[in-house]
Every structure is written in structure tokens, then in C-alpha cells.
């Protein structure tokens, strides 16, 4: 029985499944032809910094995203173009990476990836089945019409899906339906190009629709993760209804937005319109707005930024460990999040009703670089002790608090327990959690220690005593049960 009809009203009734609300941590994997050169500039910072400092035109020319290698390569005089010609020669085309990728990934071990992701605590994985470059990572019956054998020899999608599910995690697919740099070979160089670069032909609509149907039917992904829009005349309501009927507890992100190109073209002819578009898109991106409100989705997806306040609607931040999603050989530890920053970011996101979709960018042979591994393992070590305060939790009525000593606190809750997660290690053997009132008999525990902690109620909060100076950690999770009441006023 089909429960969802191909209408916006019907698909909008789809409830957010508990598994996704509980999951909190997913792993994004950017893998494709761009993994072979693995190169982008790092001097400008991440995308939020390059867009702010250089504007969109400067960003596209010095793009920190290695997965955008093909687009940046096509921009005359770009650093990527200079690197490519010096490294591979003037006659080496992007297509020449295909045999190199297919040879390299014969050494890829999907079980090793899945074991790592499960070990660090991830609950779901999202793989780039087709990025903007249009190279396919599964044996599609609908090959690229412009490039012969523009496809991976191995069923990378299928093999990783099996490995991930064998370890109890959910599997989802990124598929770029907005940009396809084989259907549209004109490089994106400005903000106004973004919506106008989406192919709109009936042939392209049939192509992307067939791919999504194939991915649904063959692999039943738990996440449909689209990117940078979708053709205006494509029937997304029918696509989503088909998906929900196949995978009732699946989720869809917010990037299937559709823009009518004809009115936009007319608008851009007005003097100053291109500047206005650039400014408005810059502001929207930096605020974490990635879609138009008229398109259905289960969650929002800020990129390389995250919401500073608790949100009623579910959201998911996506970002790399460094400045790039795809592997970038130029990235050093100086360009990457530290373990401490990573842990505190996850805690902050979860307290505000978000998930973290944390990216890894493997090399062409599937090797995850050591700098990325170090951070993943560090996050996993913290979660091994503190997972109770993260997974399966819900936001409290307030996301943030402070100690009397000025240490930031983030709150999560589960059942009758409140978790107060300190974002620094206190310097002494006591800490005061401001603006909380505990009922007599309340128990306080530091996750990772067996013995409960002593506490006393003060006028401005709760004084918690440790048996010894607390262990150094990126964040310390205190479990308070039953949940305390907030102090609404103090003398």
C-alpha cells in the first residue's frame, strides 16, 4: 500500500523518524575522481572565510573544496589550473583520472571504513554516489551520455552499503542533482551562476530521476542527500513519495530546491542585480540557509557553520575536518579541527537539536589520511566515555549555561536525567553550575567515574565537588537525575 501520494501536502506529513533524531553523529564520505589529484588551495581558509573575504568570484577561483577540482580547473588562471598543468601536463584531461581512480580503488577496503566509523560511534554514513563531476560510483544502467566508461569499475556504493549495515549503522547517499559538469561544461565563477548552472533539459531530468530510482530500488538508502538544487520542472513530489513508500523511515535533506531560471535571467539583466544576488546568497549561506522554504525536507543543512541558538526544527551541520570535503594533500594539522574543537562542536550542535555529519576525504586508494584518523579516533575515545550524554538525547529547555568560574555548559536530556556538559576542565575540585535547583536526593555522576559526586545547593546554583581534580578532557559530562529545575530568579 502506498501511504504517500505525489503531492507536497502528502509528503509533508512524513514524520521525522526517531533513529535520525537519536543518531547525532554521521560520517560523510567524499570519494570520486577528485580524490586522485586531491588538491586545492588552503591559504584563504574554509568556505565561510573565503566567501566573506573574497566574495563568490574570488572563492570560486581559489576554492578550498578539492571536490570542486574540475570546476576550478576550468577557470582560466586559477591556482588549480596552474597546479594541474605543472603536475600532469597541458594535455592531461580530467577524464584521464578515470583509469587512475579505478586502479587505485582496487586496494580499497570497505570493511575497514565501516569498522572505523562504527568504532568511533557514528550512527549513519552518507557517501557521494555522484558529485558535481558526474562520475558514478555504482554500476548504473543509465551511464553518462557524454563520456564512455565514466563510472567506477567496483560497486563502491553497494560494497560500502553492505559493510555499513553489517555493523548496525544506517546508509545514505549524496547525489548532486543540481550541478553536472558533463551536461553543463561552463565553469561556475559567480554567485549568479549557481542557480543558472543547473541543467534543465528533459534529458537531464530523465537522467537524474532514473539514477535516484535506481539507488532507491537497489540499495534503499536511509538518507536522500541532494545538493545545490534540482531541475525546475522535475517532479520532486513524485520522487519523494516514491522514496517514502519504499523507505518509510528514510529522511530527505533540504537541498532539492527548484528555481525557475527564466525570471532569474530577466532579473539579472537589471543593473546591480548580480551584486544583490551575490550579497544575499553570501548572507544566507553564512546563516546556514541552504534551501528555499517551499520545498519539502526533513531537516536543514548548514555547511561549515552551525546554528548558535536552539532550533525547533531538526538540522544537520556538514563539514570536513579541514577546509575541504574531498581529500586535499595541502591540508596540515594547522588547517584542521583539533580533537578538542571537534568534541565541543559536537556537544554544542547536539544541545541545539542538531546532528553533525562529519566528513572524511579518502585518497584514491581508500586510505584515510593520518591527520583525519587522529581526529576521528580522538572523538571516538571521548564518545566511548560520554556517549550516554549524546546519543538518544533531546534538547533541554535551555541549550546553554555557565559555571560560576565562567566555563560554558551545554545541556542535553534523556528520560529523567539532565546532562550538563562542561566545555572545559575545571581548575579545582569544585564547580558551581549556575541557575539550577536540585531536589533532595538528586544524584550527580561524572560519566567515566563510578562513584557519585557530592553536591550542595547554593543560592545561585549547585556546587559540585570532585573527589580529586577532575581528569583533563575536551568536555566533562555530568549526569543529574532526576532533572533539576532552573532557577528563574535570584536575590
pLDDT of residue 286: 79
Is it the case that residue 278 has pLDDT exceeding 90?
Answer: no
pLDDT of residue 450: 86
pLDDT of residue 490: 44
pLDDT tens-digit profile of 71-111? 999 999 999 999 999 999 999 999 999 999 999 999 999 99
395 beta partners: 412
Q: Where are the beta strands (DSSP E) in 94-249?
A: 124-130, 170-175, 223-226
DSSP string, 324-342: -SS--TT--GGGS--HHHH
Segments of the chain assigned to CATH 3.20.20.80: 8-389
Look at domain 8-389 and name its CATH class.
alpha beta
Helix ranges (DSSP H) in 24-104: 47-61, 69-73, 79-88, 97-104
pTM of structure:
0.96
Round to whole Å and give the CA distance between 340 and 425: 11
| Average pLDDT for 449-470 | 93
**Residue 372: which residues within 8 A CB-CB, separation 6 or more?**
321, 322, 336, 360, 361
pLDDT tens-digit profile of 430-459? 999 999 999 999 999 999 998 999 999 999
pLDDT tens-digit profile of 351-383? 999 999 999 999 999 999 999 999 999 999 999
422 beta partners: 409, 476
DSSP assignment letter at 8: H
Other beta carbons less than 10 A from residue 82's beta carbon: 11
pLDDT of residue 488: 61
- Whole-number mean pLDDT of the chain? 95
Assigned superfamily of 394-486: Golgi alpha-mannosidase II (2.60.40.1180)
Segments of the chain assigned to CATH 2.60.40.1180: 394-486
Is it the case that residue 182 has pLDDT exceeding 80?
Answer: yes
**Residue 139: which residues within 8 A CB-CB, separation 6 or more?**
151, 155
DSSP string, 357-406: EEEE---TTSPPPHHHHHHHHHHHHHHHHHGGGTTT-EEEEEEEEEBTT-
Round to whole Å and give the CA distance between 396 and 410: 9
Question: Packing angle between helix 273-286 and helix 47-61, nearest 10 degrees?
Answer: 150
| Average pLDDT for 451-472 | 93
The alpha carbon dihedral of 331, 335, 336, 338 has a sign of: positive
pLDDT tens-digit profile of 284-314? 877 877 777 678 999 999 999 999 999 999 9
Cα-based distances in Å from 40 to 31, 189, 231, 291, 371: 15, 16, 29, 26, 17
Placement of cell 527548484 in the chain? 258
Is it the case that residue 171 has pLDDT exceeding 80?
Answer: yes
- The number of residues making up the chain comes to 491
Distance, C-alpha 30 to centroid of its chain? 11
**Residue 185: which residues within 8 A CB-CB, separation 6 or more?**
74
**Residue 106: which residues within 8 A CB-CB, separation 6 or more?**
154
Round to whole Å and give the CA distance between 269 and 263: 10
pLDDT of residue 235: 97
Round to whole Å and give the CA distance between 291 and 269: 24
Closest-CA residue to 403 (of 339, 350, 478, 481): 478
Amino acid at each position: 500500500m502506498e501511504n504517500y501520494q505525489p503531492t507536497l501536502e502528502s509528503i509533508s506529513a512524513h514524520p521525522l523518524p526517531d533513529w535520525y533524531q537519536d543518531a547525532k553523529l554521521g560520517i560523510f564520505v567524499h570519494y570520486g575522481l577528485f580524490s586522485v589529484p586531491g588538491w586545492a588551495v588552503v591559504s584563504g581558509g574554509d568556505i565561510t572565510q573565503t566567501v566573506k573575504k573574497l566574495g563568490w568570484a574570488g572563492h570560486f577561483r581559489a576554492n578550498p573544496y578539492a571536490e570542486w577540482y574540475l570546476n576550478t580547473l576550468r577557470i582560466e588562471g586559477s591556482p588549480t589550473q596552474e597546479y594541474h598543468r605543472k603536475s600532469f601536463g597541458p594535455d592531461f584531461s580530467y577524464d584521464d583520472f578515470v583509469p587512475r581512480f579505478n586502479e587505485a580503488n582496487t586496494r580499497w577496503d570497505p570493511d575497514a571504513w565501516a569498522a572505523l566509523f562504527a568504532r568511533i560511534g557514528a550512527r549513519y554514513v552518507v557517501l557521494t554516489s555522484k558529485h558535481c563531476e558526474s562520475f558514478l560510483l555504482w554500476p548504473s544502467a543509465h551511464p553518462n551520455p557524454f563520456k564512455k566508461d565514466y563510472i567506477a569499475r567496483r560497486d563502491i556504493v553497494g560494497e560500502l552499503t553492505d559493510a555499513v549495515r553489517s555493523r548496525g549503522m544506517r546508509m545514505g547517499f549524496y547525489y548532486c542533482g543540481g550541478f553536472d559538469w558533463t551536461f553543463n561544461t561552463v565553469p561556475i565563477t559567480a554567485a549568479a551562476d549557481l542557480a543558472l548552472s543547473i541543467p534543465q533539459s528533459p534529458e537531464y531530468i530523465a537522467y537524474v530521476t532514473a539514477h535516484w530510482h535506481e539507488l532507491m530500488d537497489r540499495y534503499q538508502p536511509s538518507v536522500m542527500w541532494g545538493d545545490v538544487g534540482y531541475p525546475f520542472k522535475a517532479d520532486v513530489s513524485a520522487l519523494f513519495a516514491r522514496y517514502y513508500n519504499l523507505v518509510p523511515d528514510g529522511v530527505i535533506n533540504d537541498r532539492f530546491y527548484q528555481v525557475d531560471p527564466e525570471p532569474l535571467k530577466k532579473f539579472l539583466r537589471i543593473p546591480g542585480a548580480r551584486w544583490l544576488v551575490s550579497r544575499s546568497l553570501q548572507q544566507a549561506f553564512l546563516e546556514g540557509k541552504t534551501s528555499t522554504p517551499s520545498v519539502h525536507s526533513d531537516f536543514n543543512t548548514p555547511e561549515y557553520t552551525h546554528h548558535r541558538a536552539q532550533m525547533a526544527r531538526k538540522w544537520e551541520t556538514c563539514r570536513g575536518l579541514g577546509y575541504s570535503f574531498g581529500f586535499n594533500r595541502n591540508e596540515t594539522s594547522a588547517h584542521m579541527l583539533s580533537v578538542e574543537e571537534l568534541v565541543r562542536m559536537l556537544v554544542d550542535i547536539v544541545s541545539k537539536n542538531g546532528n553533525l555529519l562529519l566528513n572524511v576525504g579518502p585518497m584514491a586508494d581508500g586510505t584515510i589520511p593520518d591527520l583525519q584518523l587522529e581526529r576521528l579516533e580522538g572523538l571516538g575515545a571521548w564518545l566511548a566515555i560520554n556517549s550516554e550524554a549524546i546519543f538518544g538525547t533531546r534538547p533541554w529547555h535551555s541549550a546553554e549555561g555557565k559555571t560560576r568560574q565562567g566555563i560554558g555548559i551545554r545541556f542535553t536530556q534523556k528520560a529523567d536525567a539532565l546532562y550538563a556538559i562542561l566545555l572545559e576542565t575545571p581548575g579545582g575540585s569544585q564547580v558551581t553550575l549556575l541557575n539550577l535547583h536540585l531536589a533532595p536526593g538528586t544524584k550527580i555522576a561524572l560519566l567515566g567515574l563510578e562513584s557519585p559526586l557530592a553536591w550542595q545547593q547554593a543560592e545561585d546554583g549547585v556546587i559540585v565537588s570532585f573527589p580529586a581534580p577532575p581528569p583533563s578532557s575536551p568536555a566533562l559530562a555530568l549526569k543529574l537525575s532526576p532533572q533539576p529545575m532552573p532557577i528563574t530568579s535570584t536575590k
